[in-house]
A = this chain, B = another copy of it.
Amino acid sequence: MGIVRRTKSLDLLMSQFADSHDAISAVALIESLKKDVNKTTVYRLLDRLEDDGVLHSFMSSDGIKWYAKCKGCSSSGHADVHPHFQCTDCGKVDCLDLEVTIPSIPGRKINSSQILIQGTCDNCLN
């Protein structure tokens, strides 16, 4: 169930991701679009965009969902796997272009892994 029609809501939502590669929380998206787009629509668009490989999502440790643009993913799968970094000072969350190797675990089959790193971003360090 991906995106079929190019709607105003879709353009408004995607424009939120236009300027940067930072992640944006569903809650923040709903807040900044609330004049124009119903929250149900925001959630539904996010779901479909994730299905399409346009956005990917992850949970922060406080249980809220974040979205960011994919690079090189498609509806057949998310190939763009990477850790995420949350600044505990300013709250900004972004995707890290970083390879973290998960050692294989005897007797278990690993399908995916999510890494959330917390700390202070370069903006907040200075």
Identify the A interface with B (CB < 8 A).
58-59, 61, 63, 65, 83, 85, 88, 96, 98, 100-103, 105, 107-122, 125
Contacts and interface: CB of A to CB of B under 8 A. Distances in A.
A113 B117 contact: yes
Given A63-B63, A113-B116, A115-B115, 7 more contacts: A85-B108, A88-B111, A96-B105, A100-B102, A107-B121, A107-B125, A114-B116
A71 to B, nearest CB: 18
Copies in the complex: 2
Nearest to A123: B107
A120 to B, nearest CB: 4
A66 B65 CA distance: 17
